[in-house]
Amino acid sequence: MPNTNASTSWRAKWFQANLQETLKNAVVAEKICDVDSSDSFYIWNPYGSAVNVTQQSISGGSQGTYSVSTYTSTNDTLTVTDEFVVAEHIYDFEMAMQRGDLMQSRLDEMVAKVGQALDKFVLNVILTDGTGTYTTPAGGFTTAANIPVIMSNLLSKVAGYADTYKGLFLVIESTDVPGFIQSGAASGYSFADSVLKNGLMGSYMGVDIYVIRSGTFVTTTLGSTAVVGYGHRVFGVKGICTYASPRKIGYEEKYVTATTGKEIVAFCYAGVKVWAAKASLIVDITLA
């Protein structure tokens, strides 16, 4: 039996020219990570040992002398580990007898879902692999009074590092929004006015806020990687993690023997890395 047919799909007149599409989640991984779309399976990023400076008096008898330290380097590698794929078959009579572009509509949905799966993978991996940690006061982000406290404490985690010029980010789930709205609306003057007129600010205390749907942060195994994201959020410096997606999302249309129509497939490959030398700039936030 056809796998995309519906009782209303052959009506003579449709309310819309295109098929209705499901709600699409916001995708934020590419906004906070360095993205590599080359065809590389490995990305190497070795780092050296820490440099220690000796301070000595120029009149203490040891002036002008020094000791030579041993320098070591450590390999740090991003590996493309996972494949994301979704496939459907659309029969020719289904395409011919529907007023909307069924093929394009389904392909748009498939590509969007692959993008969302990628986003979920990247966000949970960087949260799990970041070495910075912070636990919120009781009530987490949903308590308005906590917001200034949380944000100031998070900023202290990365303050003073040169990398912060790249920008800071905080990724929260949609259930956290009320606390930000209430806190912003109660703030002073122009900031409160802007929140009251426009809703959630895109930035708070210089940190770009990204909102994803509830349930994105999970504790499970995503493909090849175990992640611990449920009850957590992630904060950090932009552009210090690398998200590899060779060729980005691709698709194919295939004729199938003994079957009319076409099979459509959307797919991509991905890997993500929090580089060891800067892992402390990604902060795993535990909600209390």
Sketch the domain layout of the chain as residue ranges: 29-286
Backbone angles phi, psi at 254, to 5 degrees: -130, 135
**What pLDDT does 151 receive?**
94
17, 36, 63, 69, 200 from 112: Cα distances, Å: 20, 19, 65, 52, 24
Structure confidence at residue 25 (pLDDT): 81
- Tens digit of each residue's pLDDT (9 = 90 or more) over 236-271: 999 999 999 888 888 888 998 999 988 999 999 999
Q: Which residues of the chain have pLDDT under 70?
A: 1-21, 99-100, 186-201
| The pLDDT value given to residue 1 | 41
CATH topology of domain 29-286: Major capsid protein gp5 fold (3.30.2400)
| Residue ranges with strand state E in the chain | 34-36, 42-44, 47-48, 73-74, 77-79, 82-90, 132-135, 168-173, 203-204, 207-212, 219-222, 225-228, 232-237, 241-244, 250-256, 259-274, 282-286
d(CA 25, CA 106): 16
